[in-house]
Amino acid sequence: MKHVLTYLLLLCIAFNGTLLAQSTVISGSVKDKSNGDPMIGVTIVVKGTTIGTVTDFEGNYNLQVPQDAQVLQYSFIGYKQQEIALSGQQTINVLMESDSESIDEVVVTGYGIKKKGTYTGSVEVVSADKIEQVPVASFDQVLQGQAPGLIAIGSSGAPGAAATVRIRGISSINAGNDPLYIMDGVPISAGQFSALNQNDIENVSILKDATATSLYGSRASNGVIVITTKRGSKEGNTKIQYRGQYGFNKIARDNFEMMNTEQKIQYEEETGLKTYTPEEKLALMKINTNWMDVVLRDAMTQSHEISASGGNEKTQFYVSGSYYYQEGIQYRSDFDRMNFRLNLDNQISEKARLGTNLTIGYETNSNTISGGAASTNVYNPIFSARLLNPYLKPYDANGDFNSEGLPWANPIEQLMLNENTDNTLKIVGGIFFDVELAENLVFKTNVGVDFYDYTVTDYLHPESEWGAATHGKTTRAFRRNFRVTPTNTLTYKFKVQDAHDFNVMLGQEIISNNAQSFGASAKNLPKDLKVLSVAAEADTWSGNAYDYSVASFFGNMAYSYNYKYLVDLSIRRDGSSRFGQNNRWGTFWSAGIGWNIQEENFMKSIGWIDQLKLRASIGETGNYNIGNYEHLALFGYGTYMNQSAAYFYQHQNDDLTWERKLKANVALDMAFLRKYRMKIDLYQETTKDMLFYIPYSLTTGTSGRMENIGEMTNSGIELELDAEVFQYRDLRFHLNANMAYNLNEVTKLYNGLEEIDQGYTKITVGKPLGTFYLTEWAGVDESNGKGLWYRPDGSVTDTYSDRDRQLQDGKGYLPPLTGGFTGTFSYKNWQLSAFFSWMADKWMVNGARYFTESHGMFMSYNQSTDILDYWKQPGDKAKHPSPQYQDNYYDTRLLENASFLRLKNLNISYVLNPKWLDKTGFFRSARVYAQGQNLLTFTNYQGIDPEFYGVIELNMYPHVRTFTFGIDLGF
C-alpha cells in the first residue's frame, strides 16, 4: 500500500504543470466604500490556495504571493466579495461595498440551493473545516456539539463504529428516530457513512423545522441531514492535494479502580471467602496482573488521500482516492477502508448539463464481542478482564496461554484463536441531467443509487473454549441491499416589477428498495480450516428477502419582496407499501414566513446592525420507519421434528398509517458590528398517531401488532453565537458556541393507559420518555450491615422488591441540555483550535458496577476498590453492606449522572511560508499539524465512558484518545 501511495503521489506531481517561481509582496489598504473608514479583519487570499492574510487595525495588509498567482480575493461578512486580477502590481487599495445578502450562508436542501437570507427554514451548516482531518472512520462521529439541537453520540469506540444521531430529541417509541440522510441529492442509509472520506465533504446542512423538512414528507419527521461533496472549478488549473495522517490510539478513560493482589487477598480473608497459608500468599503476591492491559493495547491509525480538481467552462471534475486504517485498542479488532470519489459536471450545450456523483468504498472490519447480557458476559473481553483476579496469570512459564485457576476462558486466548471479519462493498452515486427549457425554466432528472454487499465470516477455533463444544464452528453470511431513487423536478424562477421574486418547483420521486440475505453455519471442523465445505456437520441456515417502495409528488413556492418579506410554501403527497390499503397515502405540508427587518427604512440609520431577521414556520411531516410488512397477516416458518412447519405470526391491519409530526418554529437571526452573529430558535413538535407495538393475549396466537396510538411532544430553545472576539494585527480569536434545551413529554398512550413498564424505565403520561423506574437505595443499616431501600410511602425496608420501584423524576437517559463550543486562535501562519462538546442532566445505569461492586454476589472474582468500604461491625457507617447478605440489585445505587464536558479535538497547525515553497519548484501550499481527540473528559460518571446512548452501559468498547500528526500538500 505504501508503494502504491508513493507511486500515485509522484504521478500526480508529474502531471502538475503549474510550477511556482519566485514570490512577491503585495501591500495596500481596504476601506468601506460608503464612508471611507478603514476595515479591520478583511480576509485576503490568493484565489485557489490557502495563502492569505487579514487587514490590521488601520485597514492595511501585506501579503507574500507566488509569482504565478493570478487573482486576489477580498472578503468580509456583510460586504460583497471582490476579486482583483494581478498584473505586476505591488500596491492594491480596495473599496468594499456593503451587501446585506452576503451574510447569508448557502443552504443545500437536496432539491435545490437557497440563501439563508431569503429562507424561512431552520437550518444549520457545518462547514468542511470542522469535518476535515479529524481521525474517525465515520464522519457522523464529528457532528456531536457542532450544531444546536443535534446529538451524535458514538456509543462504541470500536473501529468503524457509527454514531447515534438525533435532531431535536426523540419523537417515537417503536418507529425509527434516525434522521433522513441525503448526499448530493441521493437518499442514503447511515450505514454508508463509513464508505465516505470526510475530506471529500464540502459542507453538511442540518434541516430541522417544517419549512426545511416537509418537502421530504414521510421521511423527514426526525429531521434531514444533507451532505454536499466537493466539486471541480472553472479556473482551468488542475489542483492536486495530498493529505496524510499517522497517529496513536489508547483508551480515553479507564475509570474503574480494581483491587490489586494484596487488596484482593485481604478482602477474601476478611470476608471468610478463602484462607491462605503464608507460602501461598507469598507466591500469589509475586503476581499482579492488570487484565485490562492484557486485552487492550496502544494502537495506531493512518490515512492517506490524493485528490485532484479543476476544469474549464465546459467540464469540471473532482476525483479522489483514499486509504484509511484504524487499529482497535482491543486485540483482534481493526478497520481498513479504501475509497474512490468522482464528481463530474459537463455543460453539454448552452442549455443542458450532465453530471455524475460516485462514491465507492471497500472496507474490512475485524470485530470482537463487545457487549452482552449477564448470561453471555463471560464472552466479553472487557467484562472478563474486569473480573479476573489479579493473582491469575494470562501466560504460563512457557509463554503459552494459561487456563489454570481461571473461572472461565482466558480472554486473550479467545481473542487470538477466534475470528469475526466482515467485508463490505458500498456504492453511492447518481447521474443527473438538467436542461433549461425556456428562460429560467429548468427541468432536472436525477437517478440515485444506494448499494451495499456485506459478507461476514465467524470462526470459533476448536481449541478455544467457545468453540470446544462444537469441535470448531464457522458461520458464513451475506446481505445485499439495492435502492434506486429517480427524481424529476421542474423549477421556474421569475420576477414581477423587479420587486417580487418567485421560485416555483414541482417534483416527482420514486423509491424502490430490494434486499436479501443468507447465512449458514457448520461445526466439527479440522484445526485451522474455516470454510463450510470441510465441516463434518451442518448446523444452521437461514435466508430472507424483502422489498418496499415509496411514490411521491411534491411542490414548493418561495416568494421574496425586495429581500424584505418572505414566504415559503411546500406540499408533498407520499404513498408507501409499508402501510395498510386504507391509509397508504399521506399528505405533508409547511408554511414559512420571514421578515428581514434590517431592510426597512427605519433601520438604515442603525449602522451597527447587519442583519435582523424574524422567521416562523408551521407544518407536518411523517415517519414510516417500521418493518416492511407490519400491516399484513403473516405466517412464520420453521422446523418441527426435522419437518417444515408454519405458524400464525401476525394479524392484519389495513388501517396502519403514517406517524405524523406537527412542527412549529419561531426564530430570530441577528448579525451586528460586522463580526457577531446570533440566532435563537423556539420550537414545539407534536407526534400524533404514534406507531407502537401493542401486546396481545397469547390466546390470539400472536404476541401483538403495530398500531397507531399515542402522542408525544418535544419543545425547546436553541441558541447559537459566532463571534470574532479579538483581532490585533496578525493575532485573532474566533469563538463559536451553541446550546439547546429540549423537553420531551409523553402526552397520550392507548386504551386509557397512563404508564407502561419498560424494565429500568417507565413510559408515563406527563413525563419524558426514558425516565428511570428503579427501587431507591437507602444505604446500609448500621446495626447489622444489611442493605436498605425506600418504599414508595417513604418508609425504609431491608428487603428489596421490584414492587417498590419508583419513577425517578428528572432523571432520564435522554439529555435535555446539549451543546458545544470552539475557540480558534490564529497568529500569522499558526492556528490553535479547541473544540468542546457537552451534555447536562444525562443519567445512565452503570451496569458494570452490578458486578464490580456486587455486595458479595460475585466476590470470588475481582472487585472495585470502592467495595472495601463495607460494613464489618455494628456502628460502622459504611458505603456498602456486609457481603454475607448479597444485597445486590439494579437500584438507584447504580443510577449515575452521566453529564460531561469533553475536549473532543485540539488542533495546532502551521502553514508554510510561500517563499520556502517557491524554492521547491512544485509545491503550491503546505500545512503541517498535530491534534488530539478525546483528550479530556470532565464527568462524575464512574463507568467506562459517559458518551453512550442508552439506558444501561455495560461493557461497551471504550472510546479512544487519539494523537495524530498530519501534512497537507498542494501541487
DSSP string of 513-580, one letter each residue: EEEEEEEEEEE---TT---GGG-SEEEEEEEEEEEEEEEEEEEEEEEEETTTEEEEEEEEEEEETTS-
| 599: confidence class by pLDDT, cuts 50, 70, 90 | very high
The average pLDDT across 884-904 equals: 96
Q: In this structure, which amino acid lies at residue 310?
A: G
Q: What's the whole-model pTM score?
A: 0.88
Highest mean pLDDT among 30-34, 54-58, 171-175, 490-494: 490-494
Cell numbers representing residue 745 in the block: 413529554
Q: Which residue has the higher pLDDT, 529 or 843?
A: 843
Classify burial at 354, counting beta carbons within 10 Å of its beta carbon; exposed 0-12, middle 13-18, buried 19 or more: middle
Q: Is 538 a member of any domain? A: yes
pLDDT at 139: 82
| 343: confidence class by pLDDT, cuts 50, 70, 90 | very high
CA distance 752 to 523: 52
Cell numbers representing residue 322 in the block: 483514499
| 59: confidence class by pLDDT, cuts 50, 70, 90 | confident
**How many domains does the chain divide into?**
3
The average pLDDT across 239-243 equals: 93
DSSP strand E in 97-169: where? 106-108, 113-115, 123-127, 150-153, 164-167
The average pLDDT across 841-856 equals: 95
Q: 301-323 pLDDT, tens per residue?
A: 999 999 999 999 899 999 999 99
Domain with 37 in it: 2-98
Is 965 a residue whose pLDDT tops 60? yes
Q: Is 15 a member of any domain? A: yes
> Is residue 292 domain-shared with residue 147, that is, in the same domain?
no
pLDDT at 21: 39
| 103: confidence class by pLDDT, cuts 50, 70, 90 | low
* DSSP code at position 761: B
Q: Is 280 a member of any domain? A: yes
Relative to beta strand 43-46, strand 731-748 is unpaired
Check which CATH number belongs to the domain holding 58 and give it.
2.60.40.1120
| 628: confidence class by pLDDT, cuts 50, 70, 90 | confident
Q: 250-303 pLDDT, tens per residue?
A: 999 877 799 999 999 999 999 999 999 999 999 999 999 999 999 999 999 999
Q: Which residue has the higher pLDDT, 901 or 954?
A: 901
pLDDT at 966: 95
CA distance 815 to 818: 7
| 967: confidence class by pLDDT, cuts 50, 70, 90 | very high
Relative to beta strand 123-127, strand 150-153 is unpaired
Q: 685-741 pLDDT, tens per residue?
A: 999 999 988 888 877 878 888 899 899 999 999 999 999 998 887 899 999 999 999
The average pLDDT across 827-832 equals: 92
**Which residues, 6+ apart, have CB-to-CB distance to 189 below 8 Å?**
181, 450, 481, 483
1-5, 118-122, 476-480: range with lowest mean pLDDT: 1-5
Q: Is 279 a member of any domain? A: yes
> Is residue 186 domain-shared with residue 285, that is, in the same domain?
no
> Is residue 176 domain-shared with residue 38, that is, in the same domain?
no
Tell me phi and psi for residue 808, to 5 degrees. -95, 85
* DSSP code at position 285: H
pLDDT at 378: 64
**What percent of the chain is predicted at pLDDT more than 70?**
95
Q: Residue 63 pairs with which residues in a beta bridge?
A: 26
The average pLDDT across 496-502 equals: 93
pLDDT at 4: 41
Q: Residue 839 pairs with which residues in a beta bridge?
A: 818, 900
| 20: confidence class by pLDDT, cuts 50, 70, 90 | very low
CA distance 54 to 40: 8
> Is residue 92 domain-shared with residue 123, that is, in the same domain?
no
Q: 435-447 pLDDT, tens per residue?
A: 999 999 999 999 9
> Is residue 432 domain-shared with residue 501, that is, in the same domain?
yes
pLDDT at 17: 35
Specify whether the CB–CB gap between 843 and 833 falls below 8 A: no
Relative to beta strand 224-229, strand 180-183 is parallel
Check which CATH number belongs to the domain holding 771 and give it.
2.40.170.20
Domain finish residue from 229, 259, 294: 229
Q: Is 237 a member of any domain? A: no
Is 870 a residue whose pLDDT tops 50? yes
> Is residue 201 domain-shared with residue 267, that is, in the same domain?
no
User: What are the angstrom distances between the C-alpha of 445 and each of 34, 358, 765?
Assistant: 45, 16, 47
pLDDT at 1: 44
The average pLDDT across 750-776 equals: 95
> Is residue 58 domain-shared with residue 125, that is, in the same domain?
no
Give the sheet arrangement for strand 201-207, strand by strand: 123-127, 201-207, 224-229, 180-183, 186-188
The average pLDDT across 658-667 equals: 95
Q: Is 238 a member of any domain? A: no
Q: Which residue has the higher pLDDT, 91 or 50?
A: 91
Q: In this structure, which amino acid lies at residue 282?
A: L
Cell numbers representing residue 221 in the block: 419527521
Classify burial at 636, counting beta carbons within 10 Å of its beta carbon; exposed 0-12, middle 13-18, buried 19 or more: exposed
> Is residue 170 domain-shared with residue 250, that is, in the same domain?
no
The average pLDDT across 799-827 equals: 96
Is 373 a residue whose pLDDT tops 50? no
Q: Is 631 a member of any domain? A: yes
Domain finish residue from 62, 78, 98: 98
The average pLDDT across 69-88 equals: 85
Is 128 a residue whose pLDDT tops 60? yes
Domain finish residue from 70, 98, 126: 98
CA distance 908 to 905: 10
pLDDT at 770: 95
User: What are the angstrom distances between the C-alpha of 43 and each of 75, 178, 443?
Assistant: 5, 39, 38
> Is residue 558 domain-shared with residue 659, that is, in the same domain?
yes
Q: 398-447 pLDDT, tens per residue?
A: 999 998 999 988 999 989 998 899 999 999 999 999 999 999 999 999 99
> Is residue 126 domain-shared with residue 253, that is, in the same domain?
no
Q: 483-498 pLDDT, tens per residue?
A: 999 999 999 999 999 8
Specify whether the CB–CB gap between 857 and 886 falls below 8 A: yes
pLDDT at 377: 63
Q: Alpha helix (H) ranges present in 741-828?
A: none
Q: Is 47 a member of any domain? A: yes
pLDDT at 22: 56
Q: 927-950 pLDDT, tens per residue?
A: 999 999 999 999 999 999 999 999
> Is residue 290 domain-shared with residue 155, that is, in the same domain?
no
The CA-CA-CA angle for residues 169, 174, 179, to 5°, reads 45
Is 25 a residue whose pLDDT tops 60? yes
> Is residue 86 domain-shared with residue 121, that is, in the same domain?
no
**Computed over its alpha carbons, how large is the radius of gyration of the chain?**
31
**Residue 577: count of CB within 10 angstroms of its CB:** 17
